[in-house]
Structure 1
Amino acid sequence: MTLSALRRRRLAWLALTASLLAGLMALFALWHWELARGERDARQHAATRLNFYASTLNAELSRFQWLPELLARQARVRIALGEPGASPAATAPVTPSYQPDAASAAAPLGSSSDLNQHLRRVARASGAAAIFLTDRDGMTVAASNFDEPDSFVGYRYDYRPYFIDALARGRGEFFAVGNTTGRPGYFVSAPVLGDEGQPLGVMVVKVSLEALEDTWRQAGETVLLADANRIVLLASRRNWKYRALEAIEPQALDSIRAQQQFRGAPLTPLSRELEDGSLVLGDNHELAASKIVPLPTAAMGQRYLDESLASGPLGWQLHFLMPLRPLYIQARNVVLVGLAVILGLAMMALWMRERQARLGLIRREAVMMREINERLEERVAQRSRELEATRDELVQAGKLAALGTMAAGIAHELNQPLVGIRTYAASGGKLLARGIASAATRPELTARAAESAASNFTRISELSERLADMIRQLRVFVRPASQQAPVALALAPRIDFALELLAERVTALDLTVEREALPRDVIVMGEQVRLEQLLTNLIRNALDALEGQVHAQQARGSDELLGESRDGPARLRLSWQAWPTVASLEGQPGGCLRIEDNGPGIDPALRATLFDPFTTTREVGEGMGMGLFLSYGMARDLGGQLRLADGSALGGACFELWLRTPASEATHAADGTEQQGSGQQSVT
Structure 2
Amino acid sequence: MLCLAGMLGGALWLYQRVTVYYLTEASARGENTLRLATATLRGQLARYERLPELLAQQRVIGNLLVAPDTMARVAAANQYLRATAGLLGASDIYVMQLDGNTLAASNFDTDVSFIGGNFAFRPYFLDALSEGQGRFFALGTTSLKRGYYFGAPVRVDGALRGVLVIKIDLDEIENAWGGGDYEVVVTDPEGIVFLSSNPEWRFRALQPLTPARLARTGATRRYATTPLSEIPHQMTAAAPELALMTVPEAAEYVVVAEPMPDAGWTVNVLLNTASARVQARTTVSVGLLLVVLAALSVWIVRQQRQALAERLHLQRSAREDLERRVAERTAQLGAVNTALKGEVAERRATETVLRQTQADLIQAGKLAALGQMSAALSHEFNQPLAATRNYAENAQLLLDRGRVADARENVGRIVSLVDRMTRISRHLRNFARKPNAKLTEVELAPVIHAMQEIMAWRFEATGAELKLDLGPAPVRVVAGPVRLQQVLVNLVSNALDASEGAADRSLHLRAEVKGDMVRLILRDHGPGVSPGLGERIFDPFFSTKGVGKGLGLGLSISYNIMRDFGGGLSVRNHPGGGAEFTLTLRAASASLEAAE
TM-score w.r.t. length of structure 1: 0.46
Cα shift at 1:72:
0.5
Residues 102 and 117 in structure 2, CA contact (< 8 A), matched pair in contact too: yes
- The answer for the alignment partner of 2:176 in structure 1 is 215
Q: Deviations over 1:196-220 (max 9, x none)?
A: 2x21111111011111111112345
Distance, in Å, in 1 between the alignment partners of 2:337 and 2:238 is 98
- The answer for the alignment partner of 1:172 in structure 2 is 134
* Backbone CA RMSD of aligned residues: 3.1
Q: Deviations over 1:166-202 (max 9, x none)?
A: 0000000101111111111000111111212x21111
Distance, in Å, in 1 between the alignment partners of 2:336 and 2:266 is 109
- Alignment CA distance shift 1:284-1:194 (3 Å): farther
Secondary structure class of the residue paired with 1:145: coil
- The answer for the alignment partner of 2:154 in structure 1 is 192
Which sections of structure 2, spanning at least 5 residues, go unmatched?
A: 339-596
Cα shift at 1:162:
0.5
Cα shift at 1:380:
10
Is 1:305 aligned to residue 249 of structure 2? no
- The answer for the alignment partner of 2:575 in structure 1 is none
- Alignment CA distance shift 1:177-1:283 (3 Å): farther
Secondary structure class of the residue paired with 1:174: strand
Cα shift at 1:294:
4.1
Choose from 118, 128, 131 the match for 2:90.
128
Aligned positions of 1:91-490 closer than 5 A: 111-196=73-158, 198-272=159-233, 279-281=234-236, 284=239, 294=247, 296=249, 299=250, 302-311=251-260, 313-371=262-320
Counterpart of 2:122, as a letter, is R
- The answer for the alignment partner of 1:62 in structure 2 is 46
Secondary structure class of the residue paired with 1:124: helix
Residues 280 and 304 in structure 1, CA contact (< 8 A), matched pair in contact too: no
Secondary structure class of the residue paired with 2:116: coil
Distance, in Å, in 2 between the alignment partners of 1:373 and 1:121 is 118
- The answer for the alignment partner of 2:22 in structure 1 is 38
- The answer for the alignment partner of 2:571 in structure 1 is none
Cα shift at 1:316:
1.1
Secondary structure class of the residue paired with 1:46: helix
Counterpart of 2:280, as a letter, is A
- The answer for the alignment partner of 2:33 in structure 1 is 49
Aligned positions of 1:642-681 closer than 5 A: none
Cα shift at 1:125:
1.4
Residues 137 and 146 in structure 2, CA contact (< 8 A), matched pair in contact too: yes
Distance, in Å, in 2 between the alignment partners of 1:379 and 1:282 is 83
Distance, in Å, in 2 between the alignment partners of 1:142 and 1:248 is 37
Secondary structure class of the residue paired with 1:63: helix
Cα shift at 1:254:
2.0
Which sections of structure 1, spanning at least 5 residues, go unmatched?
A: 1-16, 85-107, 273-278, 390-684
Counterpart of 1:318, as a letter, is V
TM-score w.r.t. length of structure 2: 0.52
Counterpart of 1:324, as a letter, is T
Residues 233 and 241 in structure 1, CA contact (< 8 A), matched pair in contact too: yes
Counterpart of 2:197, as a letter, is S
- Alignment CA distance shift 1:382-1:173 (3 Å): farther
Cα shift at 1:230:
0.8
Q: Deviations over 1:39-62 (max 9, x none)?
A: 211211111111111111111111
Secondary structure class of the residue paired with 1:152: coil
Distance, in Å, in 2 between the alignment partners of 1:312 and 1:218 is 28
- The answer for the alignment partner of 2:554 in structure 1 is none
Aligned positions of 1:496-507 closer than 5 A: none
Aligned residues: 337
Residues 175 and 185 in structure 1, CA contact (< 8 A), matched pair in contact too: yes
Counterpart of 1:77, as a letter, is I
- Alignment CA distance shift 1:123-1:387 (3 Å): closer
Q: Percent identity?
A: 30
Residues 81 and 135 in structure 1, CA contact (< 8 A), matched pair in contact too: yes
Aligned positions of 1:493-642 closer than 5 A: none
Counterpart of 2:52, as a letter, is P
Residues 73 and 192 in structure 1, CA contact (< 8 A), matched pair in contact too: yes
- Alignment CA distance shift 1:109-1:379 (3 Å): farther
Cα shift at 1:119:
1.3
Residues 304 and 321 in structure 1, CA contact (< 8 A), matched pair in contact too: yes
Counterpart of 2:209, as a letter, is I
Counterpart of 1:268, as a letter, is S
Choose from 7, 14, 26 the match for 2:10.
26
Which has the higher mean CA deviation after the structures are superposed, 233-242 or 248-257? 248-257
Residues 213 and 234 in structure 1, CA contact (< 8 A), matched pair in contact too: yes
Distance, in Å, in 1 between the alignment partners of 2:256 and 2:126 is 34
Secondary structure class of the residue paired with 1:217: coil
Distance, in Å, in 1 between the alignment partners of 2:334 and 2:213 is 120
Residues 19 and 276 in structure 2, CA contact (< 8 A), matched pair in contact too: yes
- Alignment CA distance shift 1:249-1:283 (3 Å): farther
Secondary structure class of the residue paired with 1:168: helix
Residues 282 and 305 in structure 1, CA contact (< 8 A), matched pair in contact too: no
- Alignment CA distance shift 1:158-1:240 (3 Å): same
Cα shift at 1:328:
2.8
- Alignment CA distance shift 1:59-1:286 (3 Å): closer
Residues 52 and 151 in structure 2, CA contact (< 8 A), matched pair in contact too: yes
Residues 182 and 263 in structure 1, CA contact (< 8 A), matched pair in contact too: yes
- The answer for the alignment partner of 1:618 in structure 2 is none
Residues 222 and 321 in structure 1, CA contact (< 8 A), matched pair in contact too: yes
Cα shift at 1:34:
1.0
Using CA pairs under 8 Å that are at least 6 residues apart, name the structure with larger relative contact order, 1 or 2: 2
Secondary structure class of the residue paired with 2:229: coil
- Alignment CA distance shift 1:219-1:353 (3 Å): closer
Cα shift at 1:384:
9.5
Cα shift at 1:29:
1.4
Cα shift at 1:269:
2.2
Counterpart of 1:306, as a letter, is V
Larger Rg: 1
Distance, in Å, in 2 between the alignment partners of 1:21 and 1:127 is 66
Distance, in Å, in 2 between the alignment partners of 1:383 and 1:143 is 134
Residues 57 and 312 in structure 1, CA contact (< 8 A), matched pair in contact too: no
Counterpart of 1:25, as a letter, is G
- Alignment CA distance shift 1:217-1:120 (3 Å): same
**Structure with a larger share of its residues in strand:** 2
